[in-house]
Amino acid sequence: MDYYCGIDVAKRKHAIALLDERGQAVHRPFMIDNTRAGFDQLHHALAALSGAGLIGLEATGHYWWALYDDLTRHGYAVVVLNALQVHAFRKSGVRKVKSDRTDAVWIAEFLRFSQPAPAQPSTTLFLQLKDLSRFRYHLSDQIGDCKRKLLSVLDRVFPEYETAFSETVARLPDGG
């Protein structure tokens, strides 16, 4: 029997829903902590199931990375979903109840219907690198802004500064 595991990711707790290939719950939706003990609880629930499984989780901020990394290290097929995908799919239903557990069920249903391909295990490494690159760009941009503001203040209070010093802020790297 195949199963689909939907995970609604949050900062401290994740909601889990497990469905079979017919969409029937094989386990009542439950919550796990975003900790090693919570991950072990999920592994225990998944180990009790037979057949191939597909796990889907929403890429919510950076909170999904640790769980994704842990699941892929244990050999599970994991799909990383954009919240907009699941939101659009959820609109197809009639139930308007919204909770973390029902969101997890919608994620599992989305997997069951769409059968998306699992992400590559190296995804988190690339995303972390992308995050670091963006952070570096942001810091460089902030440095440039600070230098431009400094020059603006210097121009107003000490217009002769360029002739008073051999090297000015304007000539430094990222000086704007």
C-alpha closest to that of 48 among 18, 22, 68: 18
- Identify the residue with better confidence: 94 or 124: 124
96 pLDDT exceeds 90? Answer: no
Q: How far apart, in whole angstroms, are the C-alpha atoms of residue 54 and residue 169? A: 56
Residues sharing a CB contact under 8 Å with residue 162, sequence separation 6 or more, in sequence order: 168, 170
CATH fold for the domain made of 3-119: Nucleotidyltransferase; domain 5 (3.30.420)
Q: Which pLDDT score, from 0 to 100, does residue 88 have? A: 66
Summary mean pLDDT of the chain:
84
Residue ranges covered by each domain of the chain = 3-119, 126-171
Dump pLDDT digits (tens) for 66-92: 899 899 989 899 998 887 777 767 666
Q: Which residue has the tokens 């059968």?
A: 115
Higher pLDDT, 121 or 105: 105
Give the global pTM: 0.68
Q: Output the CA–CA distances (angstroms, integers) from residue 159 to 26, 51, 141, 154, 176, in the order listed.
A: 75, 75, 25, 6, 18
What would the pLDDT profile of 115-169 be if each residue is shown by its tens digit? 787 776 666 677 778 888 988 999 999 999 998 898 888 888 888 877 777 665 5
Torsion of CA 61, 62, 64, 68, to 10 degrees: 140
Across 93-101, average pLDDT: 69
pLDDT of residue 95: 62
- pLDDT-based confidence at residue 58 (cuts at 50, 70, 90): confident
Q: Tens digits of per-residue pLDDT, 31-42?
A: 999 999 999 999
Compute the average pLDDT of residues 44-72. 88
pLDDT score, position 1: 56
